[in-house]
Structures are given as C-alpha cells and as structure tokens.
Amino acid sequence: MSEIPNWNLDQLYVEDSDKINTDLEALDERGEKFARWRDKLKEGLPTSDEFRQMVTELEDLTKLAHHLSGYAALYFAQNTQNQKALALMARVDEKMADLGNELLFFEIWWKELDEDKAAELMKGMSDYRYWLERTRAYRPHTLAESQEKVINLKNITGHDALIALYDSITNRYRYKTEGLPGEDGREVTRDELMVHVRSAEAGVRAAAYQELYRVYGQDGPILGQIYQTAVRDWRIENIRLRNYVAPAAVRHKANDLRPETVESLLKVAKTNAPLFGEFFRLKAATLGLGKLRRYDIYAPLLADESVVNFDDGVKEVMGAFDKFSPRFKELAENIVKEDRFSARPAAGKQGGAFCYSMLPGETPWVLMTYNGRRQDLFTMAHELGHGIHSQLAARHNTFEFHATLPLAETASTFGEMLLADRIMGQLENKRARANMLFHLLDDAYATVCRQAFFAMFEITAHEMVEKGATVDELADAYMLNLSDQFGDAVEISDEFRWEWVSIPHIFHTPFYVYAYTFGQLLVYSLWRQYQKDGDDFVPRLTGLLSKGGSAPPELIVEESGLGPLDESFWQGGFDVIADLLAELKKTLD
C-alpha cells in the first residue's frame, strides 16, 4: 500500500518565500490603481470599453486576492498549531478587509445606477450578466447610505452582540458524563456528548440527550429571550425598513430562489413525513424496542468496524465515479494526481473536510483525514464531488464559477449516492446490507425531514413573536412541530421542548436550514431521473454542473432538462427514499 497522500502547497507558494510579500504588495498596487475609477465615475457614465476594463481589472485583482487568501487558509488548515500560518492568516485577513473597503465604491455605484444606464452598460457584458444583476438585485431593499451606516454601526453593539452573547453562553456549556461509558466522570463538550446518541445501548442514548437538554433547558428562558429579540430585529429591519414581504423572503433573495419553489419543497417534505414514521417503526421492531423514543433515532444496527486501506478506498470512490462517467473519474483523479489531496492524518490538522476551489481553470484542493472507516470513503466521494463540480464550471469567470448555495452540494451529494450504490451492489451479507440502508435512511431523515421541520418552525416562530408570543409558547409550538413530524411513530419526552434553542443556525442565519433539505432532495430527485434514464441522464447532470453559479438555481436546473422544481420534482426525491425503505423491509424479511 502506498502512503496516504498529503498535498503539496509549494504549487501555490513556497513556505517563507518572498513571493508572498511581493504578491501582497502587488495587490496593494492593483487596489490603488482600481480606486482611481472612483473619481472617473464621478465625472459621468463610463463608456462600454471603460466598463469592461473596470470589470477585468476587478477580476484580476480578485484572482490574486483569492490566491493569497486561499494559500493562507490551506497553509493554516494543514497545521492549525503553526504560528507562522496563524500570522500569515492574520496578515492576509487584514489586507483583505482593507481591500474590501477600498473596492466597495464599485458595488455601491453599480447598485445605485439608474435602470436604463445599467441596462446600457450590461449590453456588452453577457459573460458577466448574472453577477452584475445579482449585485443590483438588492437595490429595492437598500436604504440611503447614511441609513446603512447607522444600521451597520448599531448592529455591532446590537444584533451582532446579541448573537455573540448566545455563542458565548452556549460555547461555555460542559456536560456531565455520569453513566456514560468510557468517560470516567469528566465534563465534555457538546460534540463529545453527542457521540453517545449513536450508542448501541438505549440507556446511554437517553442519558446523553437528557444531559444535553438539562443544560440548555436551564438557560431556556434566557436563550429563548435572545431568540425573540433577534427575530424582532429581523422583522424591524427587513420588513419595516427594507420592504421584504416576509421574514423568509430575505433568505430566498440571498439564495436567488422563487418563494414558490421553497414552499413546494416544504409542502412535499411535510406530506411525506409519515414515510420516516414508517422507517422509525421498522427501526423499533428491528432493535427490539416497543416504540422508538426520540432518543433512539440514531441508534445503530451494527457497530461498523471494517477498515479499508487508502488505496482500496480511492479505488472504490473512483470506481463509483467511473461507472457514472469516465470524465467524472478523470476530474476526481486530477486532484489526487496533482498532489492537491491532503488525506494523511496529522497532529494539528484541521478537523472535518473541505474542497477549496480557488479559481476557474485551477485544480481544486481537498482536505480530509483518512482513517479507513466507511464514513471516510463517503467524505472522500463528497469532497471530490465538489472538486468535479468546480472543474466542470471552469469556463465561467471568477465571480460566477462557484455554484450558489442551493446547488452547491449537488455534485458532492450525488458522489455519495454513487458510492452508496456501488457499496450496496457489493454487500451480500443481509445484516450488513440492512445496516447500510439504515445509515442511508438516517441521513435522509436528518438532512431532509429534520431540517425541513426546523424551517417550518422558524416560519411559525417568526409569526408568533410578531404577535407577542412568550418563550414558553414558542417551546409549546416546537413540541407541536415535533408531533407533526413524528406522528405517533416516536415518543417524544418533554425535555425536547428546548431543542430549538440549541440550534445555532436559527440564531445566526435565519431560514438557512431549508438549503439542506433543498440540496439533498434535489439530488434524490436527480437520482430518480438517473435510475429511469440511465446514460441519457449523464449529459444533463454534467450540463447542470458546468453552469456553476452563472444563473438562478431554478433556471440552471430547468435549462439542463432536469426541472421544473415543482411538487412532482420533490416527490421524485421522496420516491427514492421510499425505495430505500422498501429495500430495507425486503432485506429484513
């Protein structure tokens, strides 16, 4: 077996080389040069040639900035204990903040420009149209500059401070581990505690959840009050001042989605919730439990201890891509062959995994820690999937090649589906098959159903707070949301009334969570089409991915012949989940 690879960052900058300094200086110079346009713009409308020149200059300096900040991020990720990396990161961050301020005038000018003048300038710029339009899309919701300034300033000590307070309070929480195996009574973090909800022992799972919500519940009234205030702030700013029609409309705008698309998504998710109820009943029966408790949602069937060496792992993942399309395999292999894949475990290495696509036309960088567990194979398929996506989108400019949030997880999640399909095809042992299907359905529940119901709760909560609801009333509404979600398939104990105050997303980024449901169900629905159409489907998906972030998500899906994103589209996704469930039943018979 060959050694687990590391990446070679020398391809960007050689450590300590002077090139970093000269590039940072060059960035300053280009920033200053670009800033000269500010006076020019005051004199009047630029010609089309001048406008193109401006955009080109801006893109060039953005590329250099991405190289520098990208290198700093990767250098830091490979060893977060490296003081030199920390120093470089701080230096680059500061430079980027300065640069951002220096360039801001362009965005403001472009956004404020009259409709007819903007249309005139946009005529010759079809290759940048979406980016230019997106910048102007916030025009109806933008206030006068002096008002924007006041909001920014007051946010520092107002809204942002409030959310920082939530983080400070909850990040300090430590959890008791009495009765939890292998912890010898020490106090642990939330991540460490949550490992136990996947324990094979029912008592351990219950104890872990009870401890989590004991701690959150103690502060429930305070955290709830923080939430109420954040929700009021959201309404005052976005509805009253910025003229959005509804609290969630702010997020739809950021995702560039039509409200109807999200409404149909959530509607279908709600209608299909009983499918997961059925899964949970089956899970209870398989585990020999009378009725599943909320504590048992992630209970495992088997402890999965198989270990796959790295070479075999890569072979599996590449084989999965290859079966779909040799081109996919080739693009994934670029990352490995060009020494842009860091998989070797190392002290100080950043946890988790990511794919970093710096610039169009450059092979992306992937970081993960390979320990040979099955989950690591899925992580590899996921991150390399991201890398395939951005390489396919390489013909777009720097501002449009990254997929926007709703489509950002398409290739990554699809890659996981391909791998799951391959592994299922190889597993003969019934229990191992059932175990894998349990995993897939657990994931489907956590990403599709659970997140959709969070989003539904947020919509309700924002309405309730507007009408003066108390924290207890919000907690009651959350319990109703859970009983809607689980029906009578799962027993929910009372401490779960505090679950919502433990979800950072709903504090930090209201309505963000539906993006998870969107991304996962989109891929299931695409998978459905692949099952039906076989190889005819391949160019359609490739087409979708090649569009990167160069158009609104709905349009990208439709123009690739894969939409429209209506109720029947989303239902197609649930049909895949129903198939997995049917397969599981068959396997357990």
Among residue numbers 84 through 113, which ones bind Zn ion (CB under 5 A)? none
What is the CB neighbour count within 10 angstroms for residue 152? 10
Identity of the residue numbered 49: D
Contact predicate 170/504, CB 8 Å: yes
Q: Which stretch binds Zn ion (CB under 5 A): 21-29, 220-228, 265-273, 407-415?
A: 407-415
Contact predicate 441/580, CB 8 Å: yes
Is the Cβ of residue 412 or residue 520 nearer to Zn ion in the bound state? 412
Is the Cβ of residue 62 or residue 412 nearer to Zn ion in the bound state? 412
126/143 Cα distance (integer angstroms): 28
Q: Is 502 in the site for Zn ion (CB under 5 A)?
A: no
Q: Total residues at the site for Zn ion (CB under 5 A)?
A: 1
Instruction: Tokens for 541, please give them.
Output: 């998906």
- Smallest gap from Cβ 440 to Zn ion, in A, equals 17
CA dihedral sign of residues 393, 398, 400, 403: positive
202/182 Cα distance (integer angstroms): 16
Q: Which residues pair with 188 in a beta bridge?
A: 175
Q: Is 560 in the site for Zn ion (CB under 5 A)?
A: no
- Smallest gap from Cβ 412 to Zn ion, in A, equals 4
Is the Cβ of residue 414 or residue 478 nearer to Zn ion in the bound state? 414
Q: Which stretch binds Zn ion (CB under 5 A): 175-183, 411-419, 478-486, 545-553?
A: 411-419
Cis status of the peptide bond prior to 259, with omega within 30 of 0 = no
**Which of 362-381 are b and which e, b meaning 16 or more Cβ less than 10 Å from the residue's Cβ?**
bbbbbbbbbebebebbbbbb
489/292 Cα distance (integer angstroms): 7
- Smallest gap from Cβ 382 to Zn ion, in A, equals 6
258/541 Cα distance (integer angstroms): 22
- Smallest gap from Cβ 434 to Zn ion, in A, equals 27
Is the Cβ of residue 292 or residue 392 nearer to Zn ion in the bound state? 392
197/199 Cα distance (integer angstroms): 5
- Smallest gap from Cβ 320 to Zn ion, in A, equals 17
Is the Cβ of residue 362 or residue 409 nearer to Zn ion in the bound state? 409
Q: Is 379 in the site for Zn ion (CB under 5 A)?
A: no
Q: Which stretch binds Zn ion (CB under 5 A): 285-293, 404-412, 432-440, 482-490?
A: 404-412
Is the Cβ of residue 255 or residue 412 nearer to Zn ion in the bound state? 412
Is the Cβ of residue 272 or residue 412 nearer to Zn ion in the bound state? 412
Contact predicate 472/195, CB 8 Å: no
- Smallest gap from Cβ 302 to Zn ion, in A, equals 27
In the chain, how long is the greatest CA-to-CA distance? 78
Q: Which stretch binds Zn ion (CB under 5 A): 127-135, 320-328, 345-353, 408-416?
A: 408-416
Is the Cβ of residue 247 or residue 519 nearer to Zn ion in the bound state? 519
**Long-range pairs for 425-429: beta carbons < 8 A, 24 or more residues apart:** none
- Smallest gap from Cβ 353 to Zn ion, in A, equals 8
Backbone φ, ψ for residue 216 (5° rounding): -65, -35
- Smallest gap from Cβ 304 to Zn ion, in A, equals 22
- Smallest gap from Cβ 589 to Zn ion, in A, equals 35
Residue number with the smallest Cβ distance to Zn ion: 412
Is the Cβ of residue 412 or residue 525 nearer to Zn ion in the bound state? 412
Q: Using CB under 5 A as the criterion, what x/- string covers residues 430-469 for binding Zn ion? A: ----------------------------------------
Q: Can you list the alpha helix ranges (DSSP code H) found in 140-239?
A: 145-157, 159-171, 190-194, 202-218, 220-235
3 state SS for 418-442: HHHHHHHHHCCCHHHHHHHHHHHHH
Is the Cβ of residue 412 or residue 447 nearer to Zn ion in the bound state? 412
Is the Cβ of residue 350 or residue 412 nearer to Zn ion in the bound state? 412
Query: Which residue from 177, 325, 342, 412 is in contact with Zn ion, where contact means CB under 5 A?
Result: 412
What is the CB neighbour count within 10 angstroms for residue 240? 9
Contact predicate 560/543, CB 8 Å: yes
- Smallest gap from Cβ 409 to Zn ion, in A, equals 5
- Smallest gap from Cβ 4 to Zn ion, in A, equals 21
Q: Which stretch binds Zn ion (CB under 5 A): 5-13, 89-97, 406-414, 497-505?
A: 406-414
Among residue numbers 132 through 191, which ones bind Zn ion (CB under 5 A)? none
44/242 Cα distance (integer angstroms): 28
Residue ranges that bind Zn ion, judged by CB under 5 A = 412
